[in-house]
């Protein structure tokens, strides 16, 4: 029975399937996890997020390897459908500065895959996950990601996304557009003059204007709408004020906290298996000093987890060999 399985057993299975490039079983486990996520029982619902956090901690390097190598590992026919699970696991793990730093170290391998995700049209959810990943990566990578993003055609992709969402206003699409607006605001703040000029020439500002007018007229009141409007305003201010806000003012940690807060479904748990307590508002968790990936509600939990095996699992160095 699904309910009796421990967080560790899901994580262990996923790790094994990742190591074996066994997409079929990876998908099977992930489908079970999605059922937990859809559960009305809080315990099951939260366990979905516990498993994902744990995967991000113990299998951070495996995930990076999986994303980077996924085009080589999959046949053409299944490449995109395999990417759905991979990107889901990956983008949910982009929730700590340490993990994102590790990912950015491999940007030349990771970015082609993320751009494949946003350029395909079969799975809108995959597009959204791709944009989430791009935004979270640039929060930490800052100016070092501007040129790679521009080279991969970020502006063309953002433009096309906003343009093709002009039809029906749907909640998942609004979220995608909100990430487009966030990315434009980030590129304006972090990019140089040439980047700014390219954005102005790209027609993105006009498309965003049109979209926002439609959105306001539609009178829908999802949380995501506020996101679009907030980042639309931020981008707008940067257009008007010129390079008033400087890349130096960009604080990765604060931006990531702000970003995760907007996502209603981000929970932080104590990493010690016997505890796995959820972080309450205002409560400060400790990070493992070495990997900075595992988090603890107390020094006691940290010590316990170290003894229980984190000592062997704790990641150090920069990441996997590709
Ligand atoms: Zn704890
Ligand atoms: Zn550690």
Spacing, Cα 158 to ligand 1 middle (Å): 41
In a domain, 133, yes or no: no
Q: What is the pLDDT of residue 241?
A: 60
Domain-ending residue, one of 90, 107, 139? 90
- DSSP codes joined into one string, 139-157: HHHGGGGHHHHHHTTHHHH
In a domain, 179, yes or no: no
Spacing, Cα 16 to ligand 2 middle (Å): 20
Q: What is the pLDDT of residue 76?
A: 66
pLDDT along the chain (322 residues), means of 10: 75 92 89 89 89 89 90 71 86 88 94 94 91 96 97 96 80 86 92 91 89 84 80 76 71 89 78 93 89 94 94 81 76
| Ligand whose nearest atom lies closest to the CA of 302 | 1
Domain-ending residue, one of 90, 106, 136? 90
In a domain, 24, yes or no: yes
| Ligand whose nearest atom lies closest to the CA of 286 | 1
Q: How far apart, in Å, are the Cα atoms of 131 and each of 147, 179, 289, 320?
A: 17, 6, 30, 24
Spacing, Cα 61 to ligand 1 middle (Å): 24
In a domain, 128, yes or no: no
What residues pack around ion ligand 1 (CB closer than 5 A)?
270, 272, 275, 277, 297, 301
- Model pTM? 0.89
SS3 category, 54: helix
Spacing, Cα 58 to ligand 2 middle (Å): 9
In a domain, 215, yes or no: no
In a domain, 304, yes or no: yes
Domain-ending residue, one of 41, 75, 90? 90
Query: Rounded to an integer, what distance in angstroms lies between the CA atom of residue 255 and that of residue 247?
Result: 13
Q: Name the residue range of residue 302's domain.
A: 271-322
Strand partners, 221: none
Our count of domains for the chain comes to 2
In a domain, 119, yes or no: no
Q: What is the pLDDT of residue 128?
A: 92
In a domain, 105, yes or no: no
């Amino acid at each position: 029975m699904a309910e009796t399985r421990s967080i560790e057993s899901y994580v262990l299975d996923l790790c094994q399937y990742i190591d074996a490039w066994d997409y079929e079983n990876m998908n099977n486990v992930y489908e079970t996890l999605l059922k937990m996520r859809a559960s009305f029982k809080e315990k099951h619902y939260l366990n979905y997020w516990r498993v994902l956090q744990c995967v991000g901690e113990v299998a951070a390097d495996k995930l990076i390897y999986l994303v980077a190598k996924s085009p080589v590992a999959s046949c053409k026919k299944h490449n995109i459908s395999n990417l759905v699970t991979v990107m889901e696991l990956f983008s949910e793990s982009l929730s700590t500065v340490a993990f994102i730093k590790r990912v950015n170290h491999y940007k030349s391998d990771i970015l082609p895959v993320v751009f494949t995700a946003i350029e395909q049209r079969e799975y809108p959810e995959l597009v959204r996950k791709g944009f989430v990943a791009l935004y979270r990566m640039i929060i930490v990578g800052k100016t070092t990601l501007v040129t790679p993003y521009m080279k991969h055609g970020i502006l063309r992709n953002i433009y096309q996304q906003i343009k093709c969402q002009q039809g029906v206003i749907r909640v998942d699409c609004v979220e995608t557009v909100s990430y487009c607006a966030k990315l434009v605001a980030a590129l304006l703040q972090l990019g140089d003059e040439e980047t700014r000029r390219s954005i102005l020439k790209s027609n993105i500002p006009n498309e965003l204007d049109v979209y926002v007018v439609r959105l306001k007229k539609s009178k829908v009141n999802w949380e995501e709408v506020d996101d679009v409007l907030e980042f639309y305003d931020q981008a707008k201010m940067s257009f008007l004020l010129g390079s008033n806000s400087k890349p130096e003012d960009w604080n990765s940690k604060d931006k990531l906290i702000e970003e995760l807060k907007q996502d209603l479904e981000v929970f932080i748990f104590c990493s010690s298996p016997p505890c796995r307590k959820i972080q309450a508002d205002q409560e400060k968790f400790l990070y493992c000093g070495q990997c900075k990936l595992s988090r603890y509600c107390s020094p006691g939990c940290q010590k316990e987890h170290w003894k229980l095996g984190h000592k062997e699992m704790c990641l150090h160095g920069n990441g996997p060999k590709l």
